[in-house]
């Protein structure tokens, strides 16, 4: 097939047309794009730790960390550097090379940045790649984190611009775009995606992916999350999205952003192995692993290892150009939002 074009001018009609393709045709096209730019049998595996849990002032309708919802998630202080390092060393010893850290803030205060920077610097000193999600960033925050050795910053768009107000009222869509611009300007890599299954239409799912693909720079990592309904949140009773519709979202993301690594993120516990296999074929090249993905369940490590063996997949190996390696699947005990949402409450 022709080389996939890198575009930032996708129209809503073009994206909707991709969603409307016959399922097998869509997967064929997406897999072709995936093979052009990625090893189709390699999957990046990452570990994720909540370094500050609960008590978030935001009202994200999906998030159990919001202080206003009764979800059983207790507010905790920022972890000590030594405690984070203990988790990071264990992850590295088991084979991980990227360590992702999330904090349940609307955004860090100026006084928080030196503390987080010290944690990042210490984890980076172990030879690990670093990623953080802290919410909205203020002036100079991104540069300070970059100077400390941060590699990636996660901040998701969550959903389409026109559906955003149905899910979040305590921050504007533009606030997210401003933080992403600060991250890019500081020279950090971006991890940015969204959540599907929150009651949006297919047209609105197309809107989310259009917004991601038309950013000035495609995110290096694009997590596509399936809503995990949490009792006590406004979306606690949401009906599950059709699994094939979720696969379509993975496939369209792959076509729109050929060089990005599309991450099969939250919601994997609700997916059977066959659906996950379709997602990998459609272009998902990354997962989070461990018994928990923040406060929501995730397939356990042994199940992931078994699935990799059955599908003849292997963890992504290091290359000089990529600067990343995930040599094994390791356990990670985490406690935060669960959607990789990049809001103040998740990673």
Binding residues: 56, 60, 63, 100, 131, 191, 263
- 191 catalytically annotated: yes
Pick the catalytic residue from 29, 87, 131, 337: 131
Pick the catalytic residue from 100, 192, 337, 341: 100
- 68 catalytically annotated: no
- 279 catalytically annotated: no
- 63 catalytically annotated: yes
Pick the catalytic residue from 63, 192, 279, 343: 63
Q: How far apart are the first and last CA of the chain?
A: 35
Pick the catalytic residue from 29, 56, 192, 343: 56
DSSP per residue, 219-265: -SEEEEEEP---TTSTTTTPPPPPHHHHHHHHHHHHHH-TTSEEEE-
**Residues at the annotated binding site for [2Fe-2S] cluster?**
100, 131, 191, 263
- 337 catalytically annotated: no
Q: Provide φ and ψ at 15, rounded to 5°.
A: -70, -40
Pick the catalytic residue from 98, 171, 176, 263: 263
* Contact between 100 and 120 (Cβ < 8 Å): no
CA distances from 149 to 128, 180, 256, 264 (A): 10, 18, 30, 26
Q: Estimate the share of the chain in helix, then strand, then coil, as percent rounded to the nearest 5.
A: 35, 15, 50
State the pairing for strand pair 221-226/314-315.
unpaired
For residue 273, give the H/E element and its range: helix 273-282
- 56 catalytically annotated: yes
Provide the annotated active-site residues: 56, 60, 63, 100, 131, 191, 263
């Amino acid at each position: 097939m022709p080389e996939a074009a890198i575009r930032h001018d996708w129209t809503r009609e073009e994206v909707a047309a991709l969603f409307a393709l016959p399922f097998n045709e869509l997967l064929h096209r997406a897999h072709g794009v995936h093979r052009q730019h990625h090893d189709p049998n390699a999957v990046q595996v990452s570990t994720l730790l909540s370094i500050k849990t609960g008590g978030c002032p935001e009202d994200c309708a999906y998030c159990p960390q919001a202080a206003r919802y009764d979800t059983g998630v207790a507010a905790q202080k920022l972890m000590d550097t030594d405690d984070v390092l203990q988790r990071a060393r264990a992850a590295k010893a088991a084979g991980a090379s990227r360590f992702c850290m999330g904090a349940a803030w609307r955004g860090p205060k100026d006084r928080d940045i030196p503390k987080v920077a010290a944690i990042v610097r210490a984890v980076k000193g172990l030879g690990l790649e670093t990623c953080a999600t802290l919410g909205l960033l203020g002036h100079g925050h991104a540069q300070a984190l970059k100077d400390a050795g941060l590699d990636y910053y996660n901040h998701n768009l969550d959903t389409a611009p026109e559906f955003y107000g149905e899910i979040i009222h305590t921050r504007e869509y533009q606030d997210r775009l401003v933080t992403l611009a600060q991250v890019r300007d500081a020279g950090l890599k971006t991890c940015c995606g969204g959540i599907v299954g929150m009651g949006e239409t297919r047209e609105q799912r197309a809107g989310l992916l259009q917004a991601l693909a038309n950013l000035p720079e495609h995110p290096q990592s694009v997590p596509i999350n399936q809503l995990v309904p949490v009792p006590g949140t406004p979306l606690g009773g949401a009906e599950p999205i059709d699994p094939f519709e979720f696969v379509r979202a993975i496939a369209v993301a792959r076509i729109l952003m050929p060089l990005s690594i599309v991450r099969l993120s939250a919601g994997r516990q609700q997916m059977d192995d066959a659906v996950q296999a379709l997602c990998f074929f459609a272009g998902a090249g990354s997962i989070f692993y461990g018994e928990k993905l923040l406060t929501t369940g995730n397939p356990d490590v042994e199940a992931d290892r078994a699935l990799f063996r059955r599908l003849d997949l292997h963890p992504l190996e290091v290359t000089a150009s990529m600067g990343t390696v995930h040599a094994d699947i390791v356990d990670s005990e985490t406690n935060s939002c669960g959607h990789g949402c990049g809001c103040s409450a998740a990673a």
